[in-house]
Structure 1
Amino acid sequence: MFGLVRSGQGRGGGGSRDLRADFFRGVALWFIFINHMPGNWLGDYTIRNYAFCDATEAFVLLAGYGAGLAYGAMLDRQGWLFASAAVLRRVGTLYIAHMFLFVVFTAQVGYSVAALDNMAYLDELALDAFGEQPYRALLEALLLRFQPAFLDILPLYIVLLLMLMPALALLNRPRLLITASLAIYVAVRLADVNLPTWRGGGWFFNPLAWQALFFIGCALGSSRRAGDPAPIPRSRALMAACAALLAMGAVLVVAWQRPEPLPYLPDWVASFLSGVDKAGLHPVRLLSILALAYLLGHWIDRDAAWLRGAAAAPFVLMGQHGLPVFCAGIFLSFVGRVALEQSEGWPMQAAVNLAGLLAMVAIAAVGAWYRQRSGEGGRKRAVAERTALPAAAANRTMAE
């Protein structure tokens, strides 16, 4: 497994790879898998139970960080047009992956409804539209205006990348990028603007608000690519403020989720907590994930030895192959949910969580193996072209 983990150049080729981002992206993907299974005991120990943020915020922030590194390097070397084309190509890949996942997930739920005679799945997962207007539902899914539960993260990412194309012009001016992004964020929240959906209302993850977190990540990645090891300098006062914010948030979140302390909370506190929305990325959620990222970014050294150790390797590997792992996690989480509904004891809990994790790691390992082999093939062809040698001779040259 260690040989499959990439620790050299990032996608954009700018600087050595930051395994911290890969590790925490892998952890976020694992948490998403866990949290999508009602009745999963491990769900009580994920970040959403102790902070005003969860794996989705981590995933979007790290996606922006990776985009700032990768596409920023392309921007520097080959210009805006090429970098924009690369972003658009990635959008196409995500769109195809989303539609494939949509079809597979819908078929999976439909089969479970028929086999288990449980119509509640359709209502809970917002797939009842297929029973009423199947052709219209499929069309609206193609337009990203119909997003069943659990299938709303990739559409968010698609729109964020589309927004990144014009924003590439500001990538080398991170402060201006963040200022413009936060101005849009404030305006969107004040005006309550969202993208429309087929059946009324707005997107569950409002891209016009979530872009703030994504572009902050882009700015951090761009600064890192420019050679700044710490885009936001280490400050004891700022670290203390971040720790206090997270500690206060943990107390309030735990209190809000338990029935015993609820009657003792002041009315204004209860009103505030009920208004911390996820769809529009409430400022408290935004500040919480940024505070957590700041602390972890300074507490964990970029070259920490444990990031290359056995315990971290599965999560680093998953983080480096996020798209197939995410899609597989959605499929596996519903399988796990059905299994836990049949038996929720600890043997089934252990089997579902362990099997799901191993499956996602295996998918990442296959992706890493394929990428490694195809990369070797590309290098061999490049050697052959430069030396005008046949492929067999190029193989010997590479071996030497």
Structure 2
Amino acid sequence: MRQFIRGLQPASGVGAGRDLRADAFRGIALWFILIDHMPGNRLGGLTLRNIALCDATEGFVLLAGYAAGIAYGATLDRRSWSFAAASLLRRVGTLYVAHIFLFVVFTAQVGYSAAALESSAYLDELHLDVFGEQPYLALLQALLLRFQPAFLDILPMYIVLLLLLVPALPLLRRPALLMALSGIAYVAVRLFDLNLPNWTGGGWFFNPLAWQVLFFTGAALGYAPPRPGAGRSVVPVVPFHPGLVAASVVTLALSAAVLLVGDYREHWLAELPLPLAELLTTIDKTGLHPFRLLSILALAYLLGHAVPRHAPWLRGRLAAPFVLMGQHGLPVFCAGIFLAFLGRLALEMDDRWLMQAAVNMAGLAALVSIGVVAGWYRLREKGEARYPAAAAADRLQPAAASSTTAT
């Protein structure tokens, strides 16, 4: 497995190569998403959403922005904006096709289960009831990204975030301006309750107009400006400062306290001043509430300094499964949505500890297997592409030499 990871890394260079921290933590986030999507899964009590005012989705979006800043920022500097924009649009097309495929498979999976069990509860809970009533119109709205059943709302948000990055690519070189514009847009979206329209009413569950501030924060952190004559620099980090560490710890401690009050001490809310009680009970996920934003940023700051970029354990056997999952996030995520519903069905039949263990171990093993296969396939593609290119270069070499001699 470690051979796959080595094969996916650039050869050398201090600033070159993937940041395995982002890959590993994105893999963990994908695993948490699988766990959190299975109602009745007791392992869900140990995921991020139980200890902070954020969950794996915030982590996934932040790391997606970080990876985009590294990859497309490098393309922007090596080639041009048009080439980087074309690469982004191609990725958007891949995500769109994956989303539509996942929509069809997930709808068929849930619909078949509801028919087999003679229950419409799944359709109602996952917001697929309208598909049964108006299938053709629902399919059209899904193609337009205006119909998003539960669990199928992350990829549409990601698609819009990448589209927003296309015109914002040059601003990676001016991170202060990028974050100022992104912050202003975030505040305006929350103040005026702006959102993209949803066919079934209301707006998108994950409002990309608000979540863009987290994505662009990651992109600004991931972009490494080139150094004249020295290649690309190391990805910059927010400097270590005891005050920022203390603020991050306090933020996460307050997050845990709010969760504790909301889950186990609801009667305490009645004793609080009404404005404060309303604030603590309206921490929404749709518009990325500021408390959720601060929580994920505080966690990222602490982990970013606690885990060095070249920590040896990131290349070890324990981290390898999560690194592979993070490096191949799209197929892993799509499989996780399908597997989560299967796990839910299994836990509804038997939720004792043996079934709990079997479902979670099988789910993780399946995600890791997908990462391994995707890693092998990528290495195979690189190998096949390398040899034809070398052969073509050999064929062209004599001609180039003779023409040079002739001149």
Instruction: Indicate the residue corresponding to 1:396 in structure 2.
Output: none
1:137-286 matched pairs, under 5 angstroms: 137-223=138-224, 227-259=233-265, 262=268, 266-268=272-274, 269-286=276-293
Conserved? CA contact 1:65–1:218, under 8 Å:
yes
Report what 2:94 is aligned to.
Answer: 93
Report the residue type matching 2:261 in the other structure: A
User: How far 1:128 moved relative to its partner?
Assistant: 0.2
Match of 2:3 in 1: 3
**1:316 pairs with 2:323:** yes
> What does residue 393 of structure 1 align with?
none
* Residue 367 (structure 1) aligns with: 374
Deviation for aligned residue 1:265: 5.2
Deviation of 1:16 (Å) = 1.9
Q: 1:265–1:297: structure 2 CA closer, same or farther, 3 Å change rule? A: farther
Distance 1:222 1:208 in 2: 21
Q: Which residue of 1 aligns with 2:32?
A: 31
Distance in 2 of aligned mates of 1:143 and 1:185:
24
Q: Which runs of 5+ in 1 are unaligned?
A: 390-400
Contact residue 252 and residue 298 of structure 2 kept, 8 A: yes
User: What per-residue deviation string (whole Å, max 9, x for no partner) do you get for residues 131-172 of structure 1?
Assistant: 111110000000000000000000000000010110012111
Q: What is aligned with 2:70?
A: 69
Q: Give the corresponding residue for 2:343.
A: 336
Residues 324, 368 of structure 2: 8 Å contact kept: yes
Query: CA distance change for structure 1 residues 348 and 356 in 2, over 3 Å: closer, same or farther?
Result: same
The letter of the residue matching 1:246 is L
Deviations for 1:321-379, whole angstroms, at most 9, x for unmatched residues? 00000000000000000100000000110000000000010011000000001101111
Structure 1 residues 136 and 260 mapped into 2: Cα distance closer, same or farther (>3 Å)?
A: closer
Question: Is the CA contact 1:224–1:231 (under 8 Å) kept in the aligned structure 2?
Answer: no
User: What is the Cα deviation at residue 75 of structure 1?
Assistant: 0.5
Q: Would the aligned equivalents of 2:73 and 2:224 in 1 still touch at CA under 8 Å? A: no
Over aligned residue pairs, what C-alpha RMSD do you find? 1.7
Report SS of the residue matched to 1:203: coil
Corresponding residue number in structure 2 for 1:108: 109
Separation in 2, partners of 1:263, 1:178: 35
Instruction: Specify the SS of the correspondent of 2:379.
Output: helix
Q: Which amino acid aligns with 2:204?
A: W
- The 1:229–1:94 alpha-carbon spacing in structure 2 relative to 1, beyond 3 Å, is closer
Aligned letter for 1:4?
F
| Structure 1 position 199, deviation (Å) | 1.8
Cα distance between partner residues in 2 of 1:265 and 1:219: 42
Post-superposition shift, 1:9?
A: 3.0
C-alpha distance in 2 between matches for 1:66 and 1:224: 14
Contact 2:321–2:368 (Cα < 8 Å) also in 1: yes
Partner Cα separation in structure 1 for residue 260 and residue 369 of structure 2: 35
Give 1:78's aligned residue. 79
Q: Residue 171 of structure 1 aligns to a residue in which SS?
A: helix
- The percent of aligned pairs where both chains have the same amino acid is 63
Instruction: Indicate conservation of the 8 Å contact 1:62/1:217, yes or no.
Output: yes
Partner Cα distance (2:282, 2:224) in 1: 34
1:224 is displaced (CA, Å) by 7.2
Are 2:384 and 1:347 equivalent residues in the alignment? no
In 1, Cα distance between equivalents of 2:268 and 2:43:
24
Counterpart Cα distance in 2 of 1:342 and 1:30? 22
Count of paired positions: 387
Aligned to 2:385: 378
Change (3 A) 1:14 1:100: farther
Partners of 1:53 and 1:288 within 8 A in 2: yes
In the alignment, structure 1 residue 356 sits paired with structure 2 residue 357? no
Structure 1 residues 14, 234: CA separation in 2 closer, same or farther (over 3 Å shift)?
closer
Name the CA distance, whole Å, in 2 between partners of 1:311 and 1:264: 46
CA distance in 1, matches of 2:291, 2:271: 19
Report the AA paired with residue 101 of structure 1: L
Aligned positions of 1:272-311 closer than 5 A: 272-311=279-318
Residue 44 (structure 1) shift: 0.6
TM-score when normalising by structure 2? 0.92
| Structure 2 unpaired stretches of 5+ | 227-231, 397-407
CA distance in 1, matches of 2:355, 2:193: 43
- 2:128 is aligned to 127
8 A Cα contact 1:14 1:70, kept in partner = no
CA distance in 2, matches of 1:293, 1:4: 27
Deviation at 1:260? 6.6
How far apart are the structure 1 equivalents of 2:114 and 2:15?
A: 48
The answer to whether the 8 A contact 1:72-1:222 is kept is yes
1:267 is displaced (CA, Å) by 4.4
